[in-house]
Structure 1
């Protein structure tokens, strides 16, 4: 796993405070309505775990970063939160009905992760990868992405992360939308929770802080407002165990 993938721990509590959770509709697209036993893989601080639990699913979480894992365990004391990774999942064969991955599949090494995910799934089990993606169709959000870069994953019509055979069927995409209220003064914190910021040098961090502050102070949709609705599109790729 790359250094960037493991960079979030130093900002675990910030990540937990400012990153959006996932809409219930996205979980329904991934898993359907009936409660099942789910592995939240690359669970981070448990943002997706909470939505899965609210939908009635039984959840076990696996996360490689100790600081992120500690926040997840604190948020969800009744959930098993285990050390592990997509490439080394600490669960028995055929022990879960579904594996969900929120905002993390792009960090996996598929040739190692897919056989592991296949192993822990029961026959005909489901793998679903989800991403919350800022909706750049809103002008001020497009301006923010012009400063920090676009999200870079998830909205393609076809699965963009290489073959999943022979382990899984061809991924099917679903898309839903939601919005999250963000204090305008915390827009910079959203960026500070990104791996690109956490691994940047001091000059790049200073540039991002400055330009986001200027955007918040001058953009007509943001200036003088205590909070703003951040629009997201949530992309769900769903596939079945082959």
Structure 2
């Protein structure tokens, strides 16, 4: 399968909003990154293939803590533009998860940050197994909204529910369909997982809205529909974000989590 096999909503949206994505999407906690390095057994001798590398949000965290060789794979032209600007010395290839132009058994680890739900299929796993060395590790990472820590009348719960209500027709982490990819397949051992709840500071209401606007399903809306969502968003924030939650600098905290899963190639 070719680059065109990448989900068209994700590819089109991220071609459009790659600069906003790079500016507003959050990074990853030290605990999350160190877990990835540990389970992938990364060293300066390791070759890591980062699939759906995007603008390099996870790459930036990775290069701080390891000297492993990284090859980035990304189907979106826009995302690659930002990635190459951010990391001109890292090899970056335009390709989908279904057809990665790398040799068999060339990688010690494959890392997918905030993207596996877009291509959680046996076809992708077969391709990952092809380029991984026997015993190599596939590691997937997500930031997620920590609903278990939220009351249903909180600003975070209500805004997330509003925006998640628009993602019905696109693959998303929160749909929890991605684990099915690991069912009835011969390439990987059952995956292991760990979650790390944390609080994330959001600089302002405007920043928070712009963060949501980087989601593919909001990017895909026509301007009039997006304006309606924005109006609902602002109404929720007016009703639910209390003055006590806002810091003197205008920031406020969201309850989030880091989710890491990993599976060893058979």
Same fold (TM over 0.5): yes
Distance 1:21 1:73 in 2: 18
Question: Which digits, 9 at most, give the CA deviation of each residue in 1:129-177, with x for residues without a partner?
Answer: 1111022323321121122127852696x93445262011111111113
Q: Which residue of 2 aligns with 1:117?
A: 128
Distance 1:49 1:191 in 2: 22
> Cα deviations across residues 37-61 of structure 1 (Å, max 9, x unaligned)?
2111001110011111112132111
1:27-84 deviation digits (Å, cap 9, x = unpaired): 3323316423211100111001111111213211110001101101111122111111
Q: Map 1:122-201 onto structure 2 (within 5 A).
A: 122-136=133-147, 137-138=149-150, 139-149=154-164, 153=173, 159-163=179-183, 165-184=185-204, 185-201=206-222
TM-fit CA distance, 1:216: 3.3
- Say if 1:155 and 1:207 are closer, same or farther in 2 by CA, change over 3 A: closer
2:57 maps to which of 47, 55, 60: 47
TM-score normalised to structure 2 length: 0.82
| Structure 1 gap segments, 5+ residues each | none
Q: Where does structure 1 differ by over 6 angstroms across 4 or more consecutive aligned residues? A: none
Distance 1:164 1:67 in 2: 35
TM-score relative to the length of structure 1: 0.90
Q: How many pairs does the alignment contain?
A: 241
Give the one of 55, 71, 74 matched to 1:63.
Answer: 74
1:237 paired with 2:258, answer no
Conserved? CA contact 1:173–1:235, under 8 Å = yes
- Asked if the contact 2:139/2:260 (under 8 Å) is kept, the reply is yes
> Cα distance 1:235–1:113, how it changes in 2: closer, same or farther (>3 A)?
same
Taking the aligned partners of 1:231 and 1:80, their CA distance within structure 2 comes to 35
1:72 to 83, 98, 104: 83
Question: Which runs of no fewer than 5 residues in structure 2 stay unpaired?
Answer: 1-5
> Which deviates more from structure 2 when the two are superposed, residues 225-234 or residues 13-22?
225-234
Aligned 8 A contact 1:31 1:98 in 2: no
CA distance in structure 2 between the aligned counterparts of 1:164 and 1:209, rounded to whole angstroms: 42
Q: 1:170 to 1:162 in 2, by over 3 A?
A: closer
1:10 to 9, 13, 16: 16
Q: Report the 3-state secondary structure (helix = DSSP H, G, I; strand = E; otherwise coil) of the residue aligned with 1:211.
A: helix
Q: Indicate how the Cα distance of structure 1 residues 224 and 54 shifts in structure 2: closer, same or farther if over 3 A, else same.
A: closer
1:3 and 1:155, CA in 2 relative to 1: closer, same or farther beyond 3 A? closer
